[in-house]
Structure 1
Amino acid sequence: MSNQPPLAAADLQKTQQGNQVARTPEQTLVGFMNQPAMKSQLAAALPRHMTADRMIRIVTTEIRKTPALAQCDQSSFIGAVVQCSQLGLEPGGALGHAYLLPFGNGRAKSGQSNVQLIIGYRGMIDLARRSGQIVSLSARVVRAGDEFSFEYGLEENLIHRPGENEDAEITHVYAVARLKDGGTQFEVMTTGQVNKVKAQSKASGNGPWVTHWEEMAKKTVIRRLFKYLPVSIEMQKAVVLDEKAESDIDQDNASVLSAEYSVLDNAPGE
């Protein structure tokens, strides 16, 4: 896994010199992503189960789906793609692993909007699957009318029996992890607690918080649960990046603390 900084926007400008055919920002960015130097950098960052060509195809699709990405600061965009590559996650709504979203005006040195990497709850579970200390991980919502109770303390317990109304209002969201040593850890949040996290996010008014609230709520409670579990370096970096993205702090300044190596398996049905 490479720690090299993303290619600078100046490199992109150099590639445009001598090009007599006017190209759209989308064409320019896609062309830059396909250059050997960029492919080499992505290949060095990606884990073995992914290729640079596949990542570029996925990113190209995201640019076409969200043209505003091509108008953002190029270094910011490349940095977000490299971060996504280092985590081995595929951006876009197809898998719900991660999202590339434009944010703000003038935050980048170029005066353009920045691109932020937002990690989805399925991305969290996918990262968790690559460990060995956690047997299963699941996240679920609780709706009005469900039988639901939980208690913390010396004898922690959680009971959830879903009702028949799948359209009832969501009241809680929870995540449960079964550990390799036989233990179980869970975390519960109310919708009010989740919405407080949403309110602090730069993406509260657009992106997955608007289109996929339930998935973002699950991701939020999983992220909180991971603070009590043995997690991998990748997982800890993902949590740090995600918390930075939810706040108003640039992801470039995210720090990563040391942690144990572990991984999670997906729970059945997740």
Structure 2
Amino acid sequence: MTEQTVSSAVAVRDTGPAAMVEQYRTEYAALVPSHVNADQWIRLAVGAIRGNQDLEQAARTDVGVFLRELKTAARLGLEPGTEQFYLTPRKSKAHRGQKIIKGIVGYQGIIELIYRAGAVSSVVVETVRERDSFRYVIGRDERPVHDVDWFGGDRGELVGVYAYAVMKDGATSKVVILNRAQVMQAKAKSDGRNSDYSPWNTNEEAMWLKTAARRLAKWVPTSAEYLREQLRAQAEVAAELPAGDGPALPQPSVDLPDDDESGEDEGPIVAEFVDDDEPSTGWPEAAKPGQGAAR
């Protein structure tokens, strides 16, 4: 960075992270997909920081990290500070234990990317609790039968989660089903699982849904363009940005590992079907009428 760029970045930083987002409005507007309202996206990003003191302090620790995470959300066209794209404070060893911002694609974000591929008419992602009735036999049932007594009081603890998609031709995708042990295995791979701010601790059910949605995304057409951008945005610390009216976005002070809250490799998902040669163990493997993005 030139001395002038550094000076400009420092000057903006002194006004706060939210003001920095406004400062780089042109750059972010150039990154979001054409179907996304850039002004609304900026308002969401600014509101997420201004409305949370912990997030604002974490953003100040390394503003380059904060702005980089917003770049990921912008390229994906996902709403920052929502269940599409979480913004969470995370302790960083490289910053001597101070908190920095970590962006995490949520289950609603994954489902949104599935819809963008244009091949599905609906996505179902649902958790199962111990007092629910759940039936699914591989090779016999096209889709799970999940009965819930919505007015019967406590449904009990989470015991499983499933996800599947209905294609536009009416066919059902591979059904993904995970039991508690399998979800806990995914959680154990998450570096941030013990953080007070981790979605595993602040919104556990959403992380169960995300784990199933991620598995489903391997079996249905997904927007490869957006996932490639996600991989690129997370891998690059100093990604190039289109020229804008303001100074270039400041970069993180250090390289940070891109750990994922679901404990799984993000990886690009190509927009094509994969042969179902995966053996079924435990529960068969797939979303939620109420919480999934069924349309």
* Residue 78 of structure 2, aligned match among 75, 80, 89: 89
Structure-2 change in CA distance of 1:268 and 1:32 (3 Å):
same
Which residue pairs with 1:118 in the alignment? 104
Structure-2 change in CA distance of 1:142 and 1:229 (3 Å):
same
Which residue pairs with 2:166 in the alignment? 178
Q: Note the 1:49-198 alignment, pairs <5 A.
A: 49-64=35-50, 65=52, 66-93=55-82, 96-107=83-94, 113-153=99-139, 157-163=143-149, 164-185=152-173, 186-198=175-187
Within the alignment, does 1:15 sit opposite 2:1 as a pair? no
Amino acid at match of 2:21: M
Which residue pairs with 2:18 in the alignment? 30
Number of residue equivalences: 245
The 10-residue stretch of structure 1 (55-64 or 216-225) with the greater mean CA deviation from structure 2: 55-64
Structure-2 change in CA distance of 1:224 and 1:41 (3 Å):
same
Give deviations 1:145-181, integer Å, cap 9, x for gaps.
2221223347655222124344411111111211123
Amino acid at match of 1:102: P
Deviation at 1:71? 2.8
Deviation at 1:208? 1.7
Amino acid at match of 2:156: A
Unaligned runs of 5+ in 2: 235-257, 274-286
Within the alignment, does 1:223 sit opposite 2:214 as a pair? yes
SS state at 1:151 partner: coil
SS state at 2:193 partner: coil
- Distance, in Å, in 2 between the alignment partners of 1:233 and 1:12 is 34
SS state at 1:230 partner: coil
Give deviations 1:39-76, integer Å, cap 9, x for gaps.
22111111223344333322222223122332332221
- Distance, in Å, in 1 between the alignment partners of 2:268 and 2:94 is 23
- Distance, in Å, in 2 between the alignment partners of 1:12 and 1:146 is 58
SS state at 1:128 partner: helix
Amino acid at match of 1:245: D
Which residue pairs with 1:259 in the alignment? 271
Deviation at 1:77? 1.1
Deviation at 1:244? 4.4
SS state at 2:136 partner: strand
Give deviations 1:120-139, integer Å, cap 9, x for gaps.
22222222232321111011
Within the alignment, does 1:45 sit opposite 2:57 as a pair? no
Whose strand proportion is higher, 1 or 2?
Answer: 1
- Distance, in Å, in 2 between the alignment partners of 1:239 and 1:142 is 30
Amino acid at match of 2:46: T
Greater relative CO (CA pairs within 8 A, separation 6+): 2
- Distance, in Å, in 1 between the alignment partners of 2:267 and 2:64 is 19
SS state at 1:129 partner: helix
Q: Is the 8 A contact 1:236 1:259 kept in 2?
A: no
Amino acid at match of 2:6: Q
Give deviations 1:103-131, integer Å, cap 9, x for gaps.
232437x9965432211222222222323
**Identity over the aligned pairs, expressed in percent?**
31
Unaligned runs of 5+ in 1: 1-7
- Distance, in Å, in 2 between the alignment partners of 1:239 and 1:34 is 22
Q: Is the 8 A contact 2:90 2:102 kept in 1?
A: yes
SS state at 1:58 partner: helix
Structure-2 change in CA distance of 1:157 and 1:99 (3 Å):
closer
Q: Is the 8 A contact 2:119 2:168 kept in 1?
A: yes
